[in-house]
Each structure stands twice: as C-alpha cells, then as structure tokens.
Amino acid sequence: MYLSKQEERMLVGECGESVQLAMEILTGIGDIYGAEEMTKIASAHTVMTPYRDIMDAGVEICERFAKLGAKYSVPTTLDPAGMDLQRWREFEIPETYAEKQMRIVRAQEKLGGIPVWTCTPYLHGNTPLPGQHLGWSESSAVVFANSVMGARTNRLTAVVDMAAGIAGRVPKFGLHLDENRRGEVLVKIEVGSRTLMDSDYPAIGYFIGKQVSDKIPVLTGIPQGVSTDQLKNMGAAAAASGSVALYHILGITPEAEEHGRVLRKENRKETLEFGLRELTETKEEMCTTRAGKVDFIAVGCPHYSIKELGKVAALLKGKKIRRGIEFWIYTTRHVKTLGDRMGYFDIIESSGARILTETCMLVSPTDIYGFETMMTDSGKCAHYAPTLCKTEVIYASIEECVEAAVRGFMH
Ligand code: F3S
C-alpha cells in the first residue's frame, strides 16, 4: 500500500509507540482488503466501550493504549457503555462488573474519547458532512452516516476503530470508493393507501437486511416526510438482520441521484417488492412469541432522540406500569437532561417506567434479571434479544408497548 512520508514515519514509530501500533493495525487491514492507500478521516466512533462485549481482553487493550500515551487525533465518540454509568447500583449491576466497566471509562477518557456513550453520535456532535471519510464502527451509526449523511465509512470492528481515531486515517477501500457505493438491488415499497407509521420502518429495514444481506439497496416509495428517527430505526434493523452499511432512497438521501439511479437502468432484474403482505409477515417474523404475558419492555435501540422521548412521555402521562413489569427506556445523558427540563423525566418515572442512559438492553447484562418475555419497538433489538438477553421477543409499536405495560399482557 502506498504510504505518504508522514504515514511512513508513523509506521516506523517516529510519532510514538501508540501511533505505530495503530498504523500496524490499519495497514494490516488495508493489505488484507487490497487498499492502495490510506485516507484521512474527519472523525472516528468506537465500540470499545461496553464491558459486556469487549470483556477482559478489551479492558487490557484500552488500558494498553492509554498507558502508551495514546490520544485520539480526530474527534472520536464513544458507543454505549455496558451499564448506566450513573444509576448502575439501582440496577443491581455486580460490583466486579462495574469495576471493569469503569476501567474502560477511565482508559477511554485518557485517550480523549468524547463521552457521549451513544450509538447515535450523529445526533450528538459527531456530525459529518457529505463526502467526508470516517472511521466508524457501530453498525447502526455506520449505515446512518453513509446513507443519510452521505459520509463514507466501512463497518470497522472493535480495536480497528480505536486505531483509526488515533492515527486519524483508515485504509481506503470498500465504501470509501465511488465505485462501491452504487445501488445493487431495487426495493419497491408499495403499501397502497396506508400511511407508513413509525413501527413500519424497522420492519422495512428488517426485511431489506434479510433479503439483501450486505448489498446496497435502493428504495422507492419512502415518503418525502420521512423523519430522521424513522431512518435511524430502519437502518439499524437493516444493519442487524443483514449487514447493510449503505442504502439509497430516491429523492431523499444525498447520493441517491448519483449512485441510486445507476442501478435503475443497469440492474432492473434485481428487484424486491415490499407490500402490505411483506409488512405483516415481517412483523410476525420479528417476534419469537405472539401474545401473552410480558415482563420486560425495552425501548430506545438505537438510543431514543428527544422527540421519541417526548412521544413515550405523552403516551405514559397519567398511567401506571403494572406491577411485575419493568419498562426501561434507553437514551443519552444529553437527551435525558433535555427530557428533565421538558418535564418528560417526571412523567415517565412517575408512571413506573425508568430512563437509563449511556447504555442499552443489548450491551448491558440484561440476562441477569431473568426476564422471560421482552417487548420492544426496535427491529435491531428484536433481532438480537433472544440470544443476548435470553428472552422471548414481541416486536410492537411504542403505543402497543405502553398499552401492554399498563395491562400486563399483549394480545
Ligand atoms: Fe444502540 Fe445498543 Fe441498539 S448500542 S443500536 S441501543 S444495541
């Protein structure tokens, strides 16, 4: 791979041992994928954050970088931690687990990681411009950055994301290159006179991910008024059920004209249709059980925005969560602060639901509580919860989640 003079110096250790280590990791990846050169990045985002996922080896890697004096050379945001960093005792997180998590927190602080502790960094200051190269991991954030913001990043893995933040570069291959950003499968969404609702978008994403795997879909039929949250939740589901890292929506996303239209002419054969039948079937497929008693309701995957927090607060206003049910809402500390000021926190917590920040149901040890049936409004969560939380799953709208929380069951 071609390296600039500066990159050569970084690789041979002239810029310090931590930078050398980062460059060794990045050039190694570049060689594997046949990258011809490196590209500078505007920002990084790392998933070297929840103890539940990265375990002791991850703690050691974070501490090793910190000990070597590593510093992120570009703005580098942090994915959720493995517990609510403020309320973890309330949620009975074991001390030994918390101690390991706090070691990760301290090491990431030393490196200068931006402590947003969220999978929605694009809503919290790590907001790239179209065409900018990034070194991001976190599949839900990657698909949003590529598709909605028109920035360019591969789905990096843990450790490689830290190396990218330290070196301020990534090997230039995959989605960094124009030719790899073209649409590959046309997906026609046609649901007749039905207005697409919030809970339809994760199902659309889930369907697309299952069907296209890692190909680049081009969507038609998404209304102009689609919201940021709907795209966030659709992309997260597509990145979970498949490994979609980029989609185009004609008339909406920034590269759809340039890279989406190409497909319409060249690849007409690869067309998927998503209608009312697919919508119903996909929602069924997202559930491992259909009805019955629910003991855990978990929403906010990806982390709830302030608008989503406002919506659930309005639904919970004046209601009480039934005894025996936990209703947990995951978001960022920043959104919670706004929610406090807007009165949402009081409404939500006085209903018996709870707001957890800087973590989520999948990266914290939710399995320790022994929940049996989880209900969620998240396509990504519905996909992973049976394995990671060891529960049955019911996928539903937030309205249905609140109804079940008050009634105690889903029917
Ligand atoms: Fe975010 Fe956790 Fe879901 S990191 S996308 S809330 S799995």
Cβ of 363 below 6 Å from ligand 1: yes
Joined together, the tokens standing for residue 243 give 């490994």
pLDDT tens, residue by residue, 222-246: 999 999 999 999 999 999 999 999 9
CA angle 345, 348, 352 (to 5 degrees): 130
Cβ contact 362:388 at 8 Å:
yes
d(CA 368, CA 98) in angstroms, rounded, equals 14
- HSE value, Cβ hemisphere, 13 Å, CA-based, for 297: 31
326 CA from centroid of ligand 1 (Å): 19
Cβ of 235 below 6 Å from ligand 1: no
φ, ψ for residue 92, nearest 5 deg = 55, 40
Helices of type H across 174-305: 200-212, 228-241, 261-266, 276-285
pLDDT of residue 195: 96
Cβ contact 34:87 at 8 Å:
no
User: Region 209-217: what's the mean pLDDT?
Assistant: 96
330 CA from centroid of ligand 1 (Å): 9
**For ligand 1, atom 1: residue with the closest CA:** 302
pTM value is: 0.97
d(CA 305, CA 332) in angstroms, rounded, equals 8
User: Region 339-368: what's the mean pLDDT?
Assistant: 98
Joined together, the tokens standing for residue 143 give 């698909």
User: Region 259-273: what's the mean pLDDT?
Assistant: 72
pLDDT tens, residue by residue, 30-50: 999 999 999 999 999 999 999
Confidence of residue 321 (pLDDT cuts 50, 70, 90): very high
- HSE value, Cβ hemisphere, 13 Å, CA-based, for 159: 17
Confidence of residue 270 (pLDDT cuts 50, 70, 90): confident
CA angle 58, 88, 318 (to 5 degrees): 135
Confidence of residue 261 (pLDDT cuts 50, 70, 90): confident
Q: Residue 291 pLDDT more than 80?
A: no
User: Region 208-229: what's the mean pLDDT?
Assistant: 96
φ, ψ for residue 207, nearest 5 deg = -60, -50
Q: Is the dihedral of CA 356, 359, 365, 367 positive or negative?
A: positive
pLDDT of residue 120: 98
Confidence of residue 268 (pLDDT cuts 50, 70, 90): low
- Kindly report the average pLDDT of the chain as a whole number: 96
pLDDT of residue 411: 66
Q: Residue 325 pLDDT more than 70?
A: yes
pLDDT of residue 184: 93
Cβ of 145 below 6 Å from ligand 1: no
Q: Residue 269 pLDDT more than 80?
A: no
Confidence of residue 262 (pLDDT cuts 50, 70, 90): low
| Nearest Cα to Cα of residue 121 among 89, 148, 97, 85 | 148
pLDDT of residue 263: 67
Helix (H, G, I), strand (E, B) or coil at 171: strand
Which residue is it, tokens 């500078």?
40
pLDDT of residue 409: 74
User: Region 263-279: what's the mean pLDDT?
Assistant: 81
Joined together, the tokens standing for residue 30 give 């570049």
pLDDT tens, residue by residue, 153-202: 999 999 999 999 999 999 999 999 999 999 999 999 999 999 999 999 99
pLDDT of residue 71: 98
pLDDT of residue 339: 98
φ, ψ for residue 249, nearest 5 deg = -120, 115
Cβ of 389 below 6 Å from ligand 1: no
Cβ of 236 below 6 Å from ligand 1: yes
CA angle 128, 236, 294 (to 5 degrees): 140
Which residue is it, tokens 């517990």?
83
pLDDT tens, residue by residue, 114-139: 999 999 999 999 999 999 999 999 99
**For ligand 1, atom 4: residue with the closest CA:** 119
